[in-house]
Amino acid sequence: MATTETLTAERILATTEDVLRRHGAAKATVVDVARALGVSHAAVYRHFRTKAALREAVTKRWLDRTTAELKLVVEDRSVPADERLRGWFAVLFAAKRKKAGDDPELFATYEVLLGENSGVVEEHITDLVGHLRLIVEEGVAQGELTSPVADPELTARAVFDATGRFHDPCYSREWFKPGIDEAFTAVVELTLAALRP
């Protein structure tokens, strides 16, 4: 089953997602990915040297989709800092909930992959905390926010940790329970109140 379409890393990653969705993280193999692409497994290995490298890349791709959406909120400097923070958390919660609700099989698979790829996860969290730090720093500079601690990185990390229930995958079962939207609003508003001058 040969294919005439050019084999690219992006095609491999998209197909890997489909294979993971069908087989789950425990059973999906590089041979399954190659078969779905109509190529040899050696062709896949030319792009990703190991199965672990492929799984790491597909995990990063999945996480980066959320990061790209959030970056748009961070970069919209026409919006006051407290509104950007509120919007950032709303986008993050909506993206996580959408991933968990729209495709529960793939979300469960990614929970396994996230455990395997702690470096990718740490990089993702570093990016997210960096977004928050930037909004807080700009808000402090404009007099719109205050930082309860001198280090903006610590403030950003504290804000991220305080809202963990709404973005950490270990809480995903709670994201669809009655009252979760009200709980989200309460936590975000309390967090913002702590940052107002």
pLDDT score at 2: 45
Beta carbons within 8 Å of 126's beta carbon, 6+ residues apart: none
Question: Whose CA is closest to 90, among 161, 188, 194, 197?
Answer: 188
pLDDT digits (tens, 9 = 90+) for 24-64: 877 888 999 999 999 998 999 999 998 888 888 888 888 88
Whose tokens are 């709980």? That residue is: 183
Q: Mean pLDDT: which of 53-62, 83-92, 139-148 is highest? A: 83-92
Global pTM exceeds 0.75: yes
Among residues of the chain, what percentage have pLDDT more than 70? 96
Q: Is the per-residue pLDDT at 86 higher than 90?
A: yes
Q: Mean pLDDT: which of 14-28, 62-76, 82-96 is highest? A: 82-96
Please report which confidence band the pLDDT of residue 73 belongs to, taking 50, 70 and 90 as the band edges: very high
Q: Distance (Å, rounded) from C-alpha 109 to C-alpha 113?
A: 6
Q: Distance (Å, rounded) from C-alpha 197 to C-alpha 184?
A: 22
User: What b/e sequence results for 165-194 when a residue is b if at least 16 CB atoms lie within 10 Å of its CB, and e otherwise?
Assistant: ebbebeebeebeeeebeeebeebbeebbee
Query: Which two three-digit tokens encode residue 85?
Result: 């923070």
Torsion angle of C-alpha atoms 15, 93, 122, 117, degrees rounded to 10: -30
Please report which confidence band the pLDDT of residue 156 belongs to, taking 50, 70 and 90 as the band edges: very high
Please report which confidence band the pLDDT of residue 104 belongs to, taking 50, 70 and 90 as the band edges: confident
